[in-house]
Amino acid sequence: MSNELKNSPIEDFDWEAYANGETKGDKTREELTKTYDESLNTVRDKDVIEGTIISLNKREAVVNIGYKSDGIIPMSEFRYNPDIKVGDTVEVFIENQEDKKGQLILSHRKARAARSWDRINEALEKDEVIKGYIKCRTKGGMIVDVFGIEAFLPGSQIDVKPIRDYDIFVGKTMEFKVVKINQEFKNVVVSHKALIEAELEQQKREIIAKLEKGQVLEGSVKNITSYGVFIDLGGVDGLIHITDLSWGRVSHPEEVVQLDQKLNVVILDFDDEKKRIALGLKQLQPHPWDALDANLKVGDKVKGRVVVMADYGAFVEIAPGVEGLIHVSEMSWSQHLRSAQDFLKVGDEVEAVILTLDREDRKMSLGLKQLKNDPWENIETKYPVGSKHTAKVRNFTNFGVFVEIEEGVDGLIHISDLSWTKKVKHPSEFTQIGADIEVQVLEIDKDNRRLSLGHKQLEENPWDVFETVFTVGSIHEGTIIEMVEKGAVIALPYGVEGFATPKHLVKEDGSKAQVDEKLNFKVIEFNKDSKRIILSHSRIFEDEQKGERAEAPKKPAAARRGAGRREEAAPALTTPLEKTTLGDLEALAELKQKFAGK
């Protein structure tokens, strides 16, 4: 505002006479000039004073400060206040009283800056609403011109709603509150959201006070998260949890709704204190189970899509919101414990049979294997006792091997039925998981859906022949292959193993036989049923010392002569046998016939 004139003007002043150099009265021209100069404001460069806007256009504002000439200020300096008008009082900074063109140069921006810090602090203390001009975007928010100072407006403080497009705010003038000042670094943080939160809180209280469970309201989608959708109900927000969006399975809420979409929702629950409102969308639609075909029953075939997989089974959606569980045990006739992922995956289109149907609890179980014939229905015909087949090794136990002849047809090979000659301590010594193995059906247990199988039964029992070869008292060459606590295991001809106790391992010189040592052994016991041969080395020289060498075997001369022939024939069959071959069996059979003939 301009200052009052220090001297009163001269009344009835004759300007024409003055122009002609004539004066009236007692005052001279110099005195009049002095009087005029004194009537103007006295200003100095760099001063901050107030002036009045006397005219405006798009480019500049003309400001009167009571000086002999008016000043010009660019309109860009008034961007923070788009409501500026003629007659408004503004602060100006005297940059130059007179430039080369005789123009008074003013700056509103510098005037604001000169007093800005005091005003910013005053606005914070008084919780004052101020205006600011949003200049540009920056990381995490916007830069705002407030009193000529660049303040920071965080993105979260622009509005109560999440901002999706920050650029639309650039160039706008908005009202703010100062929320934080860092005096050391001269940093200022402002908020527009703070202006409307108080008003919104009052609106929320009024809206929540009118809410009732079951009430249907219209709202718009405000935000979408992975767990649900926030709905703006007109000043208050509610959440539709992902499980309340649809009766069917929803992987992400974006499958059902989109931003700014208008929709009707029902109030499920609300909390007055925490101002939380739980909303539902699917509840406005009838439950799909209620619309399920009334004629659908157990045993019917249905088609659907796998929507969820678990180790124990697969959930199949046969209609939106209607699901059935296919347990892993109903996916295959196989008895092996397997994961459902071995059979199905999410998205598979399947056909299944309804096994159970509970409309009250809205549960249904389905089966896949029921679409195939049960292999155990005609098991006696397909796999009769004595039949031979190729099976796949599935699992080991200490007592045998579990195999699968076909899907759903399992069997057990007992460890004693793996080999006639080899003493198998664990099935892993004989075969491996995933390998094929030839089997013969020994017994059928239809009730427990299990076959008893054998592998060694595919070959002739060589112990029928061994009974005639390793007679009690006969002497054979053997090699000690293992020393155990109770004696030694001896490898005999034809791949047969025998056993000798420690006292029967003493040699004639009193020393004890060692591993890998090759000696003659006398058979002192032979048991075909238990496949056991007990041997003795020391008994050979003990019997000789007693003169009982000829009597101990108690054999006819022909048999003793036959033993000599056995020693001649032995080299052809001295290779230890893991598995008796057909040729070996034939050789043993011929040997048996010779003994019988003798």
Q: What is the pLDDT of residues 473-489, one digit of tens each?
A: 888 889 998 888 888 99
Q: Is the domain of 593 the same as that of 473?
A: yes
Query: φ, ψ for residue 438 (rounded to 5)?
Result: -80, 135
Together in a domain, 532 and 570: yes
If you average pLDDT over residues 228-257, what whole number do you get? 86
Within a domain: 117: no
224 within some domain: yes
What is residue 577's predicted lDDT score, i.e. its pLDDT? 36
The count of domains in the chain is: 6
Q: Are residue 483 and residue 585 in the same domain, yes or no?
A: yes
- Residue-level pLDDT at 273: 65
Q: How far is CA 185 from CA 9, 111, 362, in A?
A: 53, 22, 65
- What average pLDDT does the segment 1-10 reach? 47
Q: Confirm whether 204 is domain-assigned.
A: no
Q: Which of 56, 80, 111 is the last residue in one of the domains? A: 111
Of 284, 303, 321, the position where a domain reaches its end is 284
251 lies in the same domain as 234: yes
Query: Confidence class of residue 230 from pLDDT cuts 50, 70 and 90?
Result: very high
- Is there a single domain that holds both residue 467 and residue 479? yes
Calculate ∠ Cα 136-139-145, nearest 5°: 35
342: pLDDT strictly greater than 70: yes
**Has residue 59 been placed in a domain?**
yes
Shared domain for 133 and 103, answered yes or no, is: no
Statement to judge: residues 280 and 292 lie in one domain: no
CB 342 within 8 A of CB 332: no
Residue type, 178: V
Assess whether 434 and 484 both reside in one domain: no
Under DSSP, the state recorded for 139 is T
Query: Higher-confidence residue: 388 or 234?
Result: 388
CATH number at residue 268: 2.40.50.140
Q: CA-to-CA distance for 386 and 442, rounded, in angstroms?
A: 6
CA–chain centroid gap for 452, Å, is 44
Q: DSSP class of residue 573?
A: G
| C-alpha pair distances (Å), 30 with each of 21, 37, 330, 579 | 11, 11, 119, 143
pLDDT in tens, 575-588: 333 344 444 555 55
Task: State both tokens at 77.
Answer: 């300096």
Expressed as residue numbers, the domain containing 100 is 15-111
CB 86 within 8 A of CB 63: no
87: exposed, middle or buried (Cβ count in 10 Å: 0-12, 13-18, 19+): exposed
Q: DSSP label at 466? A: H
pLDDT in tens, 33-60: 555 455 445 566 556 778 888 888 888 8
**pLDDT reported for residue 366:** 92
Query: How many Å apart are CA 419 and CA 396, to the nearest integer?
Result: 16
Whether 387 maps to a domain, the answer reads: yes
Clarify whether residues 472 and 583 are in a common domain.
Answer: yes
Distance CA 304, CA 348 (A): 8
In a domain, 121, yes or no: no
Q: What is the pLDDT of residue 534?
A: 92
- Residue 539 falls in which region: left (phi positive, over 0), alpha (psi -120 to 50) or beta: alpha
**Same domain flag for 171 and 215:** no
- The residue among 317, 343, 371 that closes a domain is 371
pLDDT for the residue 499: 92
Q: Which of 278, 270, 208 is nearest to 236 (CA)?
A: 208
pLDDT value at residue 559 = 44
Residue 317 lies in a domain: yes
Ramachandran region, residue 531 (left: φ > 0; alpha: ψ -120 to 50; beta: rest): left
Residue 486, Cα to own-chain centre: how many angstroms? 58
Per-residue pLDDT reduced to its tens digit, 257-315: 898 899 999 888 887 665 688 999 888 888 888 778 888 888 888 898 898 888 888 89
Which of 85, 97, 80 is CA-nearest to residue 40? 97
Residues 362, 404 within the same domain: no
Of the pLDDT bands very low, low, confident and very high (cuts 50, 70, 90), residue 500 is very high
Please tell me whether residues 471 and 583 are part of one structural domain: yes
Q: Judging by DSSP bridges, how do beta strands 71-74 and 104-107 pair with one another? A: parallel
Q: What pLDDT, on a 0 to 100 scale, did the predictor assign at position 582?
A: 42
φ, ψ of residue 67 to 5 degrees: the values are -100, 170
Query: Which pTM value belongs to this model?
Result: 0.40
Exposure string over 117-155, b if 16+ CB within 10 A, otherwise e: bebbeebbeeeeebbbbbbeeeeebbbbbbbbbebbbeb
Quote the tokens at residue 99: 């430039």
Mean pLDDT over 81-93 rounds to 82
Strands (E), 80-147: 89-96, 104-107, 129-138, 141-146
Would you say residue 430 lies in a domain? yes
The answer to whether residue 73 scores a pLDDT higher than 80 is yes
